[in-house]
Chain A
Amino acid sequence: DVKVTQSSRYLVKRTGEKVFLECVQDMDHENMFWYRQDPGLGLRLIYFSYDVKMKEKGDIPEGYSVSREKKERFSLILESASTNQTSMYLCASSPDRGRRYFGPGTRLTVT
C-alpha cells in the first residue's frame, strides 16, 4: 500500500509566522503535489515537483514556496502566514499522470 504521511494533522499559527508543512511518501514516486481544499472551491494545486530539486507552480502559488531535497520528501512553506491561508492542505504523490495518492491532510488555522 502506498503511504503518504503529513507531519501534522492540525496546526494553529499566528499571522506573520513562517510555517513548514512536511510530506513523505514511501513508494518511490517521481511526482509530488501540494493542494489546498476550501469549501466550494474543490482542490486547488499550489505547487508540484517531478524530481528532486525540481518544482513547478500550480494554480495558486502566491504566498507559498516548496522544497524537494530528497525524492521521498516534499515540503510546503508559508513564508509569512496570513489568515486567508487558513485551509486544509493535502499532499499527494503519483507514479504517472493520473492517479494521485493523498496524505491525510493538515488543517491549518492562521489567527
Chain B
Amino acid sequence: DQQVKQNSPSLSVQEGRISILNCDYTNSMFDYFLWYKKYPAEGPTFLISISSIKDKNEDGRFTVFLNKSAKHLSLHIVPSQPGDSAVYFCAASARGNTGKLIFGQGTTLQVKP
C-alpha cells in the first residue's frame, strides 16, 4: 500500500525551463511534507518542506505547492539548471507519528544543457 506516490519515474527538461515534479498521497492524516534531492552515491539532502496549514512555500528557485483537497503536492524548479539533475523524493508525515516519514518512489530529473 503505497501511501505516497510519484507516478513519473523520470522527467527531462531543457535548461532554463520549468521542472514540475508531482507527488500524490492517500493518507488524510499527513500534515507535513518534504522534498529531498539525491545524487548518485550520495545520501538524500533536504530541499524544501511545507506544512498543511499552507498551500505554498518558496525558497529561491524552488517552490512547493500543496493541494489538500486533491491530496497532491508539486515541486517547481525555475529556472532549471543542469546541476538540478538528480533523483527527487517527496515524503510525508502524520501528526504524532514522528518516526514514520513515508517516502515516494522518486523521480529522476534530467536537465539538458
Interface residues of A in 52-73 (CB under 8 A from B): 56, 58
The residue of chain B having its C-beta at the shortest distance from the C-beta of A98 within the complex is B32
Q: For chain B, which range describes its interface: under 10, 10 to 19, 20 to 34, or 35 or more residues?
A: 20 to 34
- A interface residues, how many (CB within 8 angstroms): 28
Complex contact A98–B43 (CB within 8 A): no
Complex contact A43–B93 (CB within 8 A): no
The residue of chain B having its C-beta at the shortest distance from the C-beta of A38 within the complex is B105
CB distance from B68 to the nearest CB of A (A): 17
Interface 9-mer from B11-19, B56-64, B75-83, B95-103: B95-103
Question: 1/0 contact trace for B47-75 toward A, CB 8 Å?
Answer: 00100000000000000000000000000
B residues neighboring A (CB under 8 Å) = 4, 6, 9, 32, 34, 36, 41-46, 49, 89, 91, 93, 98-101, 103-106
